[in-house]
Amino acid sequence: MSIRESLSSEQRSLDLELTIDPGFVHHRKIETILGNDGIAVIHNAINKIPDSVPEWQKTTHINHIYKDAFLLFCSSIGVKTLQDLLLDEKGRIFCSVETLEPCESIYDEDRVISVWKPITPYNRKIEFHYSTQRISSDTLKSRLHIGEGKFAIVAELSNVKKDVLIFDPIIMGFPWLRDGKEKPNFDIMWYGSTYFENFIEDFDEFQKVRDLETPSNPDEMKNISEYAFKICLSEILGDSVQKDWGGETSDYFSSHIHLNGKRMTAAFLLKGPANFAPMTLNHLGKNNDQILRLAREPAQILFVQHSHDILSVVRETLRAFSTQPANPKRYCFIDGRDSLKLLKAYGLYERALKLSQKRV
């Protein structure tokens, strides 16, 4: 089942942490980057491991200590996701959840190459060069071999060739949820990076949608302009209407939205019916960069709204920008059906229709 079906709004809204279950840790690289102060913190934590802990288990503890220290470093200096780094062409270290091609030689060679599998075609090849001796997890090795699932990766750019960018992995493993400020009442091991998606019924200001059935199609949104939806959204949230300007990174920003009683900040990317068709990345700016700009907003929740359906490539792209280990953002898609449901739940559809007609 999807997270919308398997978890309640309250369960989807818990404050949990996204981390990495590390099966690959480059200790020397981490110490080099963190320096003496970071090394001292790591060694202090290692010295607190009880002597009674078996040697194999101690190694696992040490890997987690190095991982936690480096993720804290990444979060504190604002390390980017891979796609953000590639689009911006700035920075050397990234931290994100990615997909890799199968590495067929991983059981036969001491040094191997894993190749990045992008969501959409990229004009350069991204390679990860690493020693198999640093892999401490049989499960990770097996998954890297067949290229199955999502991999949480922290890596440093080491070389740039004409058509290839080469990265040295610092940490690799699986995205992993762990308890945060709140104790979950469900098994968090099944969700990983997918946990941070929310839906309109999860937000306190939108809860009237729970009383309506989801429309069978979005056709009635064809006549509702982006401007009209923005006005109605501002009325639901009790905000003043924001004027568009050339330097904006989102279409709408609000600090008056609550998730299960917790006040949050939210940035919205809004798309009207000018191109009334399922949303692809081609809807999102000349360089398909509107999601990048949205993700850079100082917001805790990122919304993408469209008058029609929203295709999986858009959903996967926003997820890639949002679910960064140690620093995830929540995200929500409001497609045409949910947009229509929201307007009707708050008695604003006719108002939106009139606003759209006036704007023509």
| pTM, 2 dp | 0.91
For 197-359, the fitting CATH number among 3.30.1360, 1.20.120, 3.40.1350, 3.30.70 is: 3.40.1350
User: Domain 17-178 classified CATH 1.10.260?
Assistant: no
Consecutive sets of 10 residues in the chain, 360 residues long: mean pLDDT of each? 90 95 97 97 96 91 97 95 89 96 97 96 94 97 96 97 95 93 88 92 97 96 96 93 62 94 95 93 79 91 97 94 93 98 98 86
Q: Please answer whether residues 169 and 24 qualify as being in contact, where contact means their C-beta atoms are separated by less than 8 angstroms.
A: yes
In this predicted structure, what is the pLDDT of residue 343? 98
In this predicted structure, what is the pLDDT of residue 344? 97
Distance CA 116, CA 122 (A): 10
In this predicted structure, what is the pLDDT of residue 231? 95
In this predicted structure, what is the pLDDT of residue 245? 47
- Which sequence spans correspond to the domains of the chain? 17-178, 197-359
Tell me the Cα Rg of the chain: 22
